[in-house]
Amino acid sequence: MSASSSSPFTLRHRSSECRARCGEVATLHGRFRTPVFMPVGTQATVKAVTPENLMDLGAEIILGNTYHLFIRPGHELIKQFGGLHNFMNWQRPILTDSGGFQIFSLRDLAKITEESAEFRSHLNGNRLFLSPEDAVEVQEALGSDIMMVLDTCIPWPATREETIEATALTGRWAARSKKALTGTGQLLFGIVQGGMFPDLRQFAAEELVDIGFDGYALGGLSVGEPKEQMYDMTEATVRHLPEDHPVYLMGVGTPEDLVEGVYQGVDMFDCVMPTRNARNGMLFTSEGRLVIKNSCYRDDQRPPDTCCGCYTCRNYSRAYLRHLFMSREILAYQLNSIHNLHYYCSLMADMRKAIEQDKFISFRNTFHSRRANPPEQN
């Protein structure tokens, strides 16, 4: 089915009740277990936490971004340090996004042609170009374990004609990306586009499988469409991807999204939500969301989550975290981020355990039931 000679993915357990599964992905910097959440380290750092924090909270792989590192400090400088792992002192696996989504986000500054994406730097306005070949070259210099092809992200809503054109270009760019590989041993994932049209998603998936990649990502989701439509497109895509390769749902999402994605057979996720929300004073807990600035926590001696064993919950009260946040102390961002990232990594570990025990549907039902009443309403 795939042109790849082998897959880095090893299936360990599969649910008998749904598509949920767990396994391992082998990379140059070791194996990581799936399903997995990848903390986002766009600029060679996961905001407000150290690599040691990340290891303590259970992160097995993190994400960097080609677009941002290409602009600053530059991939050639990072290459001088022996790659991104040495530059940022993280020796576990790293996935780098190709920059397609960032170019999409800055589309007022960008122009997409057959050859490349032409854009202006958001830092100084300089005119820059990034072709599929350039994206591979930059990522090979960064030394990431998993590289992504350059794609054209499709906005929502988009017409069928617009979606066909962009999806076809992503397919042609994917083929060029694979040809650009120089044999470094890094993995390369293809990105399935197709917008909100199931038949185009199927076409894109089958085209990429025919080219042959080490893994397959679902792109162009969580761009403003209704949740149910995102879930429908995920299901419509995953069914057309090879079961012996890892599946990555890009830029998603909430804890509920992760559970539903695993339910549909997704192996890998990333999202800025745990760290961004932490900096805005919103904590994820086993019972739902907790907004730490609320006055009801002014003298609350409880940890953010009584079911959590993270560094923050073991040592600090809601009252103290509220004080830090209201005082705009930098420590607030660190402690909140440690908690939220620990919550996400623990959620993935709990799902892996549920799959291993073949109890994922029970886990899913309990998860949604517990979150029906947020702490503020207790």
Active site residue ranges: 97, 270
Measured CA to CA, the distance from residue 76 to residue 70 in angstroms comes to: 9
Instruction: Return the structure tokens found at 94.
Output: 């790293």
Instruction: Return the structure tokens found at 9.
Output: 């993915």
Instruction: Return the structure tokens found at 52.
Output: 């040691």
Radius of gyration of the chain (CA): 20
- Assess contact for 126 and 120: CB atoms under 8 A: yes
The full 3-state SS of 37-53, as one line of letters, equals EECECCCCCCCCCCHHH
Measured CA to CA, the distance from residue 227 to residue 264 in angstroms comes to: 14
- Assess contact for 85 and 142: CB atoms under 8 A: no
Closest CA to 371 of 227, 255, 222: 255
How does DSSP classify residue 203? H
**Structure-token match 């990848």, residue found:** 38
Instruction: Return the structure tokens found at 24.
Output: 């391992």
**Structure-token match 């072709």, residue found:** 131
**Structure-token match 């199927």, residue found:** 202
| β-pair type (215-218, 36-38) | unpaired
Q: How many helices (H) and strands (E) does the chain have?
A: 15, 16
Closest CA to 150 of 211, 207, 100, 96: 100
Measured CA to CA, the distance from residue 231 to residue 198 in angstroms comes to: 12
Burial label, 6 (beta-carbon count in 10 A; 0-12, 13-18, 19+): exposed
